[in-house]
Structure 1
Amino acid sequence: MSSEWQKTLIRYCCDINSSNIKANGPSQYIKYIDISSIGEGCQKEAFKSILRVEAPSRAQRLIASGDCIISTVRPNRRSMIWIKNAVDNLVASTGFAVLRAKTSVILPRFLYYNLFSQSFTDYLVTREKGAAYPAVSTTDIVDAEIYLPPLPEQQTIIDLLGSLDDRIALLRETNATLESIAQAIFKSWFIDFDPVKAKQAGREPEGMDAATAALFPDSFEESELGLIPKGWEVSPLDEIAVFLNGLALQKYPPNGDDDLPVIKIAQLRKGDSLGADRASREIKPEYIVRDGDVLFSWSGSLEVAIWCGGDGALNQHLFKVTSVEFPKWFYYFWTKQHLSDFQRIAASKATTMGHIQRHHLSNAKVVVPPSKVLLGIDGFMSPLLNMWITNSLRVKSLTLTRDTLLPRLISGKLRLPEAEEILKEATA
């Protein structure tokens, strides 16, 4: 580390919770950032636009461009984000601490990278209080030590790490668009039957070429679900895919260097296996989870996701969903289509951990087109899903590179020329 780097406390580098919304402010509406809106260094959902008079009492912290916001509850979840460009009347919950950099000593994004480092999270976890809702205070946050290089060096580090973060953000945005497109197409073609309705009315189906339009019939027929496209069939969900329940992996304790991380509901929710329990690799191959597998948690927090977190062992309470007859997008979106019903069933259970049972999969019905039609549609849908998986794996790789470089850069342990070489290899 250069002698120009100075050790200091966060409290000397920023103002914390310095701006609060005024009760008699001029705007009727605010953009509200709740805890659920923020993930690990990312925005998970759109900030809510709500009337000021209807805003919850915790909507207090006024946000400006460059602010860093970090959740004070459950710091191990790393719910934080750097606000690059704040919209007018952007307000955060009091569940966040808002740090505004003193730009004469620290650049806003350099402050954020210090907050985002795993060592800072580890420090906060040691300071948390409370069992049900472990939390830290603003004093805990500002009492943390950080190292400050000169401002030009801060900017160089920001440029390097920021280039990775910007690529990650772009890939995530692309994936959100890809899934939105695929979901909209699936709903239009397999739930609402828009192409069939158009042809029945003598119109050309929208958003497809003539070859794709020719795959759809121009009339309906009765079924147990009501009217469905002529020649299509109704099938139980568990007849288009195999729902393999995971193992009680405590019966397969780790026994070597090649042990597998255990994929539980928690790992499915966060999308990686960091810090997971381990299990022996000596399990049947079908119970090994690989990138691109569809996973469905059938108890507790019911979710369906495509796993891109590396090899792992399938734990009980998770289904691995596969099919040799139907394409992945088909059984993935049909399972997602029924997810809200499954969640209602689980919520109705008089237990602490609601769940569904096998017969609920059988009771969930899907509409299946003839194989020729499905094959034609697959030529359009599978590339969308495969691109989504490829992008997700790229995000995983770039995130690993960033998380490797970040602690060494902000502590001065890695020289910038070395970091630039690592970055060049990672983004080649």
Structure 2
Amino acid sequence: MKSGDLYVSLKDVTQSGDLLGSIARVPSDIASGRLTQDTVKLVFDGDPVSRDYIYWLLRTPAYREYCRGCATGTTTLGLSRDDFLDFPVPSPAPADELLIELLEGVEKRITLLRETNATLEAIAQALFKSWFVDFDPVRAKAEFRQPEGMDATTAALFPDSFEESELGLVPKGWTVRPIGELVEGIYDGPHATPAESADGPVFLGIKNLTGTSLDLSDIRHISESDWKQWTRRVEPRRGDIVFSYEATLGFFALIPPGVRCCLGRRLALVRPHAENGAGMFWFHQFISAPFQQLLDKHTIHGATVNRIALKAFPSYPVLNPPEPLKSAFVDSVAPLWAAIHENQVQAQTLTQLRDTLLPRLISGQLRLPEAEALMAEVAS
């Protein structure tokens, strides 16, 4: 496999059929790779149709429904090669070719926004690591040096020596306390799944957690009545930190502004106290290497999935710097996170546009003038 190659999965362990027959493209930053079992590479014989056309054709609802209809098995769904190869490939009309160009442009913009966010988040993480993991400003002051990259007011917030704690050497005057003493609360949602709705509030699932952020490109909506039921214990709000306590352990994400949602199964939420620092500080604490190692230490390894005991989570010890220092960190990274959240909104809007356009591919519903108008709109 090399950059730009297309590959298809002929198995789906989710039992929903959502991944059966799914197609993907090797990213441009991956020079080469190997296929996993039950995954096939598409090799093109000549150029009757473009690779880009096949890529988008195999992402249409019509193709997804075809794969579900051909599925075999119960625990693990399968798609035979013959059934896959039997899927009809109509010749693209001129409007379809423009639509493919439009979809490619949308995809590139989504990718660019995500890459930008990864860079912004890396900057924020590097600052947290310097201040609260490596203690660079404290070490500098202990050696009678001026801490780098900060003004005198911020530098004055750091001590110039260390002391012993249950977490090892920590800056003098900083405390180590259980999480539960430092936040307003830790909550999980109902252990069930409500019926899906055409629109309405977002039902956060474990699939929406992608490591350090929420991916809202594929969301499940629920009704207003179900939302009231599912938020009786806690209604997620901006600055809360959602995390998984089963399966994908160690995944944490900030609830962004403007998202009306509830917690799904295997998800929990940390709500910080305002006086103990904003969610941005605690989010970076939770994704830092020391806390991730603490999670590994408390992981319960099961036969099918790993988990942590949610009841024990509030007792985990964490480093608690003075409030002015936490506030200084939040002030430093807040502009980064404002840009990240704005980019997430743009990416979600583009994703919705893409998903609206996909069913119109090969349907004959899109006329050439309309396709040209859409091209101009996205280009602007």
TM-score w.r.t. length of structure 1: 0.73
SS at match of 2:75: coil
Matching of residue 157 in structure 1 with residue 99 in structure 2: yes
1:359 to 282, 300, 312: 312
1:205 to 137, 147, 160: 147
**What's 1:67 paired with?**
5
Gaps of 5+ in 1: 1-62
1:218 CA drift (Å) = 1.9
Change (3 A) 1:340 1:95: farther
Whole-angstrom distance in 1 between the partners of 2:344 and 2:255: 9
Q: For 1:176-218, what per-residue CA distance to the aligned partner results, in whole angstroms no more than 9, with x for missing partners?
A: 2222222222122112212211221233334445554343222
**What's 2:188 paired with?**
245
Aligned residues: 362
1:318 to 259, 264, 267: 267
**What's 1:331 paired with?**
282
Change (3 A) 1:417 1:229: farther
1:220 CA drift (Å) = 1.8
Whole-angstrom distance in 1 between the partners of 2:271 and 2:343: 21
Whole-angstrom distance in 2 between the partners of 1:104 and 1:274: 36
Given residue 174 of structure 2, which amino acid in structure 1 is its aligned partner? W
2:344 to 371, 392, 415: 392
**Contact conserved, 2:159 with 2:172, CA < 8 A, in 1?**
yes
Any residues of structure 2 matched to 1:148-227 within 5 Å, and which? 148-149=91-92, 155-227=97-169
TM-score w.r.t. length of structure 2: 0.81
**Contact conserved, 1:255 with 1:280, CA < 8 A, in 2?**
no
1:232 CA drift (Å) = 2.0
**What's 1:347 paired with?**
300
**What's 1:138 paired with?**
81
- Bigger drift between 341-350 and 382-391 goes to 341-350
1:298 to 245, 255, 259: 245
**What's 2:228 paired with?**
282
Whole-angstrom distance in 2 between the partners of 1:104 and 1:361: 59
Q: For 1:45-65, what per-residue CA distance to the aligned partner results, in whole angstroms no more than 9, with x for missing partners?
A: xxxxxxxxxxxxxxxxxx245
1:403 CA drift (Å) = 1.0
SS at match of 1:366: strand
Change (3 A) 1:287 1:103: farther
SS at match of 1:106: coil
**Contact conserved, 1:101 with 1:107, CA < 8 A, in 2?**
no
* Structure with more relative contact order (C-alpha pairs < 8 Å, separation 6 or more): 2
- Bigger drift between 230-239 and 273-282 goes to 273-282
Whole-angstrom distance in 2 between the partners of 1:112 and 1:255: 28
2:39 to 96, 100, 110: 96
Q: For 1:20-78, what per-residue CA distance to the aligned partner results, in whole angstroms no more than 9, with x for missing partners?
A: xxxxxxxxxxxxxxxxxxxxxxxxxxxxxxxxxxxxxxxxxxx2454211222215237
Whole-angstrom distance in 1 between the partners of 2:358 and 2:44: 19
Given residue 263 of structure 1, which amino acid in structure 2 is its aligned partner? L
Matching of residue 378 in structure 1 with residue 330 in structure 2: yes
Change (3 A) 1:211 1:77: farther
Superposed CA RMSD in Å reads 3.3
SS at match of 2:111: helix
SS at match of 1:130: coil
Gaps of 5+ in 2: none
**Contact conserved, 2:244 with 2:252, CA < 8 A, in 1?**
yes
1:169 CA drift (Å) = 0.2
